[in-house]
Structure 1
Amino acid sequence: MHPKSQVVFDLSAILNYPIQLVVHSWHSARPLRWFSRNDDGIVAEGRFLEAPGLPLFTLEDDRGARVSDGIPEGILVIARLMPAMDFELAQACAVSEAAWELAENSPLLFILLVDYARRQALCVEEFEQLLALKRTVILDKVGLPASKSLVRLINRIELSPLLPWELEDVVKSLSQPEFLSLLRHHPSVHLNHLRFLLRQRQPLWPGMLYLVDKHSSALDITWLCRMIRDTLNMAAGNRQMLERVSSRQALQELHDLLVGRFNSMGSDAKRAAHAEALVQEHGNFPAPPFPIIDGIEPLASWLELLEEGSSMRHCVGSYDTFVALGEVFIYRMMQPERLTISLEYRNNRWIVGEVRGSRNANPSPGALDIIRRWVER
């Protein structure tokens, strides 16, 4: 029988050689310390804030004992905020009451501190010395301005699960004075607000933070950024039009109003004159990046771009600058349904950007599958 202070995992069948992973339980003298052993003795022993290579919540031995058994639920909540560091976060909480107090009162600052200690390969004693510092000094250690107001702001930020690379993004966003001036005055700050600001960057206005909340998905934030880009583009860069926007409905209404104005050029002669002006501004319409297939064809001129927006009643006619810069190319699907396809050039390859029907209607799953397979091919 294994001692209750240890959870033992036999990895022999997985790794094809005899080896066991031994993890000290939460109630042991050395919580979550671990080592691996074989018949000859200890093979490797984990340092402080070094995970054994398996996620905390998957570690269960042949008796049904789990490493997470006995860990207080509040600490498990912190660990779940960053699955890639769940073991390290739980282990750091076990260091002292000061560690758990920081994790409970300021989970984002705690996660940043544990990440810093992990990257610096600090020992337990060095980590305890960090915990004894003022929180403004801790901010400086993790790469943020040593400000009392920032300490208060970080304490207020509600979190959702973080991906590893997002910690660097958090530091970037909380280092921007223009972001902080908005965040400090918002009544309920969530991690999604940082994601949105870093993705949007400009323009910024007081009501924009009301466009996202804790329920906003990555797709929601992408949609918002595109709507803001398109609205500002149709407004000829007039940022004052966005100053009154503080809800998604208001943003949609402003966007639709500008779409109607942009596409209502009147006669074909006026549209042709606008197209000629685009030729003078940008030169000839770019060549399509992908060949024609049955049902999908590229736009071939600035006039066709304007006509596509007018006939489909959306804002693609205002994409001339993006098309001219080679960042976007527009196709139209004629069958199985009428759609406008925006391809975007990112990381040296073309990907599907937006696919919209009349009045920005969503495409059917079948049509979207045809488009994706075409682009991938």
Structure 2
Amino acid sequence: MIIGQEFCSLHQGTGMLTLDLRDLYGFEGGLVRIAPWHDRLLVERMDKHGWVQDDTALDYPLITEATETLPKGHPMRRFCEGLPAWASDTARPFRINQLRLLRILSVDPKAQELAVNAPIVFWLLAECLGDQASTEDILGLTRCRRRDILGKALGDSSNSLLNFLCKLDKFSYELTDLERLRLLVAGKAWVGLRHMGRLNWQVLKLFLKQDDWLDYSGVRRLLHVPQGAVALERFNQWKRVAGDIQRIAAVLQLQPLTERLKQVRDHAQLRRLHDTLTARLNRQRALEIEGRFQKPFPLAPLPGDQVIQPITNVSDLLDEGTAMHHCVASYIDLIFEGKSFIYKVLAPERATLQIVRLPDGKLRVGQLKLACNAETSQETVNQVSNWFNTVYKPSQTSNNQPFY
């Protein structure tokens, strides 16, 4: 937090930092003062009766890089420089409740040991105190066992939860962390994770937004991925393939495979299940489909060439699905309805291309996939782009849309 000098002042005699945020907040509670370290960092706000203690009146991190780069004479920087270096270093990682944690350290310096060895438990100390905590309240709390602190803050004082929290990496101590942690504990989702090793909290937070995905063994394994963006990409791939599996199962008139999917341990096993069902779809329904659709597909709207060739009948579509290990056969109804058209791409990579006709008649590229629904190279995308923009003439629709 950076506050202009016009909004704060440091009293030379008492060492109190006063913040006048009434113009920003628009109410009297915006006048706040903080006592110096030797007075236990007591936070008070002004109300109609005078100064009253309110530990929640100011919840902005004081120990930040931004504060340290303020001009030397800035009251906030001078106030923070009056704090012991060890206390500032201890409180620095905590983005919310930082001032309350500093107050705890000023009352009981031994709490630093908890901050070092069980930082999440230390962080939760602030959630166990009211808005007018006394020195006795703080000392009584810091002398509690760690699991009893968890019981006060999260409603669960089990050793299992304590051990689980100690395995969380990349915890950022933001407000969203507190919200997600409460959700995790209240929903008991952590119980299924307690026997796993170190867990990336930033990835776990992403999964907590999704419905029941932590019930899936293969998804839980992604909690070990160190990069959150990589884990999210793999998770989206997992959802996509799992969705295809459920759709193929429905076409085959099988029961939903949700419970089986929960037991799949990794993406390779998921892909094998997908390919097995796809092959079964192609084998089991080949005769049925060919007997049902004893006619060619509607004429493809775009002519092919030596590299990109339209698939014109059911038999060739089934062969494409078998050769490429995907479920393109499930698009038969859309093809006969004139809503989708399938093409073989022979170079620079072997791929399958979907052209989609929109309700207004415009044509757009749908999916472009390698075998097993893998992504194509940019060279293949460019090849298809050039073909599409060449053969798709503006006169074919009222408003031509170029590829991508």
**Normalised TM-score (structure 2):** 0.54
* CA deviation map 1:288-309 (0-9, x unaligned): xxxxxxxxxxxxx993399979
Using the alignment, how far apart are the partners of 1:91 and 1:306 within structure 2?
A: 72
RMSD: 5.1
Structure 1 equivalent of residue 205 of structure 2: 195
Using the alignment, how far apart are the partners of 1:305 and 1:125 within structure 2?
A: 75
Structure 2 equivalent of residue 108 of structure 1: 120
Using the alignment, how far apart are the partners of 2:185 and 2:44 within structure 1?
A: 38
Is there any run of 5+ residues in structure 1 with no aligned partner, and where? 275-300, 317-330, 340-355, 365-377
Match of 1:161 among 169, 172, 184: 172
Q: How has the CA–CA distance of structure 1 residues 211 and 54 changed in structure 2, closer, same or farther, with 3 Å as cutoff?
A: closer
Structure 2 equivalent of residue 230 of structure 1: 243
Does 2:289 match 1:270? yes
The more displaced of 199-208 and 252-261 is 252-261
Does 2:142 match 1:131? yes
Partner SS, residue 34 of structure 2:
strand
Q: How has the CA–CA distance of structure 1 residues 78 and 267 changed in structure 2, closer, same or farther, with 3 Å as cutoff?
A: farther
Verify the 8 A CA contact 2:59 2:99 in the aligned structure 1.
no
Structure 1 equivalent of residue 398 of structure 2: none
Using the alignment, how far apart are the partners of 1:195 and 1:306 within structure 2?
A: 44
Verify the 8 A CA contact 1:203 1:239 in the aligned structure 2.
no
Partner SS, residue 338 of structure 1:
strand
Structure 1 equivalent of residue 106 of structure 2: 94
Verify the 8 A CA contact 1:31 1:91 in the aligned structure 2.
yes
Verify the 8 A CA contact 2:60 2:96 in the aligned structure 1.
no
Q: How has the CA–CA distance of structure 1 residues 101 and 23 changed in structure 2, closer, same or farther, with 3 Å as cutoff?
A: same
Is there any run of 5+ residues in structure 2 with no aligned partner, and where? 1-9, 250-255, 294-330, 344-350, 382-404
Verify the 8 A CA contact 2:154 2:182 in the aligned structure 1.
yes
* CA deviation map 1:108-140 (0-9, x unaligned): 22233322324x754342232122222232222
Using the alignment, how far apart are the partners of 1:16 and 1:62 within structure 2?
A: 29
Does 2:34 match 1:33? no
Partner SS, residue 142 of structure 1:
helix
Structure 1 equivalent of residue 365 of structure 2: 338
Partner SS, residue 100 of structure 2:
helix
TM-superposed CA distance for 1:84, in Å, is 3.8
* CA deviation map 1:4-36 (0-9, x unaligned): 9444556688689999754344xx312433446
Using the alignment, how far apart are the partners of 2:114 and 2:27 within structure 1?
A: 42
Structure 2 equivalent of residue 185 of structure 1: 195
Verify the 8 A CA contact 1:23 1:35 in the aligned structure 2.
yes
Using the alignment, how far apart are the partners of 2:241 and 2:129 within structure 1?
A: 39
Using the alignment, how far apart are the partners of 2:290 and 2:41 within structure 1?
A: 70
Highest CA radius of gyration, 1 or 2?
2
Partner SS, residue 58 of structure 2:
coil
TM-superposed CA distance for 1:141, in Å, is 1.8
Structure 2 equivalent of residue 117 of structure 1: 129
Verify the 8 A CA contact 2:189 2:214 in the aligned structure 1.
no
Does 2:228 match 1:216? yes
Partner SS, residue 120 of structure 2:
helix
Using the alignment, how far apart are the partners of 1:170 and 1:127 within structure 2?
A: 23
* CA deviation map 1:56-94 (0-9, x unaligned): 24666881352544454775565544x343333333333
Verify the 8 A CA contact 1:158 1:190 in the aligned structure 2.
yes
**Normalised TM-score (structure 1):** 0.57
In the alignment of these two chains, the number of paired residues is: 298
Using the alignment, how far apart are the partners of 2:292 and 2:164 within structure 1?
A: 53
Q: How has the CA–CA distance of structure 1 residues 105 and 204 changed in structure 2, closer, same or farther, with 3 Å as cutoff?
A: same
Structure 2 equivalent of residue 173 of structure 1: 184
Verify the 8 A CA contact 2:90 2:112 in the aligned structure 1.
no
Letter in 2 for 1:184: R
Q: How has the CA–CA distance of structure 1 residues 134 and 224 changed in structure 2, closer, same or farther, with 3 Å as cutoff?
A: farther
Q: How has the CA–CA distance of structure 1 residues 211 and 6 changed in structure 2, closer, same or farther, with 3 Å as cutoff?
A: same
Q: How has the CA–CA distance of structure 1 residues 225 and 20 changed in structure 2, closer, same or farther, with 3 Å as cutoff?
A: same
Q: How has the CA–CA distance of structure 1 residues 186 and 42 changed in structure 2, closer, same or farther, with 3 Å as cutoff?
A: same
Structure 1 vs Structure 2: percent identity of aligned residues? Answer: 14
Q: How has the CA–CA distance of structure 1 residues 245 and 45 changed in structure 2, closer, same or farther, with 3 Å as cutoff?
A: same
